[in-house]
Every structure is written in structure tokens, then in C-alpha cells.
Amino acid sequence: MRRILFVDDEPRVLRGFERMFSGRKRDWEMSFALSGAEALDILAKSPHDAVVSDVHMPGMDGVRLLTEVKKRFPGAVRIALSGYTDDEAVVRSIPMTHQFLLKPCRAEEIERIVQRACTLQDLLSSPELQAMVGQVGELPAQPECYAALCDALADDRASMASLADIVERDMAMSGRVLQLVNSAFVGLPRRVSDIQSAVTCVGTTMLKNLVLGIEVFRPLPNGVRELSIRDESDHAWVTAALAARMAETSTRILRDEAFVAALLHDIGKLVLAEGARGDYDDIVRAARDEERPLYDVEVAHWGVGHAEVGAYLLGVWGFPYAVVEAVAHHHHPARIQSEAFDLAVLVHAANVLAREAAQGLEQLPDVPAGLDLALVERVGMGQEIPTWRRAAAKFVADVTGR
């Protein structure tokens, strides 16, 4: 049974929600609150899986409410509703919400988002991990990318293409911009899956708000020294460029989603670095000292790793199912029993080959370490490995200057 809390200062709106979702009473236990204070009282008495709140309310508005929910009940999915898209309150709500919906909103849309978000909670094995992800507001960004984006936004001559080039070099910036542009906040009739289009749709004013105003990006927190955001973002970009190259004969949609899924495949590391802090430093250090894959050490500690954590975050942010699935299984794509060269197999192979290329080995092994060769051959792509290796080496050289 999922527990959903609806918050609005208008009784007729709450009665409308109750009527709209009367058919879900077998699997939804619904609560209703006329104010932020009443909502917090309800949450204090019993945990809820999701909070759906209007942004504009007297007294404690929706932004303040969702801020408190994030602090006190971080495991709950936070969904904001508003009839406006261009006022200060809505802009301030962005770091506090997982999803933003524009009024009037169809019942099917709310139901789909709430149900999907609640289902995604099953990806994480413990309430503690759900709370850790739920606390994410800001994500650690590369200082160099952050500074470059600030400089570009201050330059009236900077093009959208140059802004997009900066954004796609950083996991945190890319994830947030794509989350925003595909929300009802922007109100596009179609889903955007490439950074260039996303930056163009968001525009310079909203980028300035994200970067300079509401500050959704920040350096790594104190106590995290073992993880290099620069190295992780370089790897993410090489993986994304390679994934797009590997999918170059596929449809435009698959190429775009391959780039996005590969660019964000390790975003769970940023979440764990932000949420676990010194504890994550210990895990990164242990993986290095014991020469074990970081993912394996994470799983031994938490029961899941950065792949599942990242997939959960992208899922509640509303990313396409194929992207979420590819991120969740990029270490073990055989879990989903792929029989075609789909997104999960593609991101898995790109990740492994990008890591190998970054090592700069003089003599390459016959089979790249960590590659599920049987799966790659089963989907008919085994003969492409030498070509992919050469492409990966080129992209690494582009990033490192080697």
C-alpha cells in the first residue's frame, strides 16, 4: 500500500483529487491537508511515499513545505503543482522537487508520475538510501565547468552551442538541465534528450537562475577527497561520446538517449558523495587499496551501488525508462536479458571501453576487463570491439590532450 499526501489550500481541489483517484483506493492510502502546517503534522504521525503540493498557498507556501519535507522526511517523493511557470516561488521550488507539474493537470499524468516514483523506491534496499537520495538538492559540479559556465553566461556574445558544450562536460549540470527542460516547468510538447536542445529550451535566463541564483550546483562536500569530479566527468563525457558513436547507425532518438544515459551513468557517485560524505571516502579508498571494483564495494556496504542510486534519482526526476534501466544495469546488463543491441548493452560496453582507454595500456588484453563479451557477441556486436577501442582512445586523447 502506497501512502500519498495531497496539499492545497482550496478544499474543492482536494475533493477533486479524492474523486480523481477513487479507483486507486485499493493500493493508495491518501491523505489531504489544507496547509503546509497540517501536512507536516500528518507526516510526523505517519510516513508517506509521496507529497503532491500546490506551490502557491497562504502562510507556509509549497516551497517552504517541500523544503521542510526534504529536511525531515527525505524518503518521500516531492511533486510540486502550480498554475504559473515564471514567478519567483516556482523558480525557488526547483531544488526542492523531484517533479514539477503545471495546473490543470490530467489525473492520468499525476497517477503515472506518482506510481512510477513509488515503484522506483524498490530499486533501493533501505529507507536510509532512499532518504540519502531524497536529500539531494544540489549536486557536486566540476569547479572548472562551473566557473566556465559563469563566465560564458556573463558574456553576451556566448552562443547556445558554447553553453551546451560546457554543460555536457559535467554530469551534475547535464542531469539538472535535462530534468528541468523535460518538466512541465518548460511545458514542451515533446521529450528532449540532447544537451544542445535542452540548453536552447531552458535559455540563458534560467541557466543563470540555476547557476547563480538558486545554486543547484556546488563543489564536493567537505570530507570527500578520494573522488575526483574532474576525472569522473571526463570519463562520463568519453563514455557518452563513445556511446553516441556506437549508435551512429541507429535512430536519432537512440543516439540521443545513448549519449544522455552514458553521460549520466555514474551520477549515483555524486549522490553518494553528497549524502554519505566521509563514509563514501572510505569506500572509494577501500576499492582502490583492495583493487576491487568500486561498485562491488558499494554493494557489500549498502546492498546496492551507485548504478541503482543514480537510476533511482533519474527515475524520480522523470527520465525515460530506457535511460533509467541502462543506468541501473550498466555494470550487469545481462540482468535484463537483452537480445538486441539496446541502450543497456550499449552503455555497458561504452563504460568498460572508456575506462580501459583512460588507462593508456600499451598492450590491450584480448577481452576488455569487465566487458560481458558473451552478451555483446549474442547481440551481434562482438566484431565491433576493435573499432570501438580505437574510438575510445581518440575520445580520451581529445579530453586529456595525450
Q: Average pLDDT in the 355-362 region?
A: 90
Query: Which of the two residues, 234 and 140, has the higher pLDDT score?
Result: 234
For the segment 173-198, the average pLDDT, to the nearest whole number, is 73
- Does the predicted model carry a pTM greater than 0.85? no
- The alpha carbon of 202 is separated from its chain's Cα centroid by a whole number of angstroms, namely 17
How far apart, in whole angstroms, are the C-alpha atoms of residue 117 and residue 319? 11
Q: Could you tell me if 294 and 284 are in contact, meaning their C-beta atoms sit under 8 angstroms apart? A: yes
| Chain center to CA of 90 | 20
Walk me through the domains of the chain, giving residue ranges and CATH numbers. 2-123 (3.40.50.2300), 142-218 (no CATH), 229-400 (1.10.3210.10)
Average pLDDT over residues 337-357: 90
Please say whether the dihedral angle defined by the alpha carbons of residues 25, 26, 28 and 29, taken in this order, is positive or negative.
Answer: positive
Q: Is the pLDDT of residue 126 over 80?
A: no
Return the CA Rg of the chain: 21
Q: Is 52 or 103 the better-scoring residue by pLDDT?
A: 52
CA 254 to chain centroid, in Å, comes to: 18
Query: Which range is most confident: 31-40, 50-59, 78-87, 304-313?
Result: 31-40
Residues 6+ apart with CB under 8 A from 247: 254, 255, 258, 346
The whole-number average pLDDT for the span 86-110 is: 76
254 — pLDDT class (breaks 50, 70, 90): confident
Cα separation of 155 and 170, whole Å?
A: 20
DSSP symbols for 223-285: T--S--HHHHHHHHHHHHHHHHHHTTTS-HHHHHHHHHHHHTTTHHHHHHHHHHTHHHHHHHH
Residue 334 has a pLDDT of: 87
Q: Tell me the C-alpha distance between 257 and 243, whole Å.
A: 9
Q: Looking at 249-400, which runs of residues are DSSP E strands?
A: none
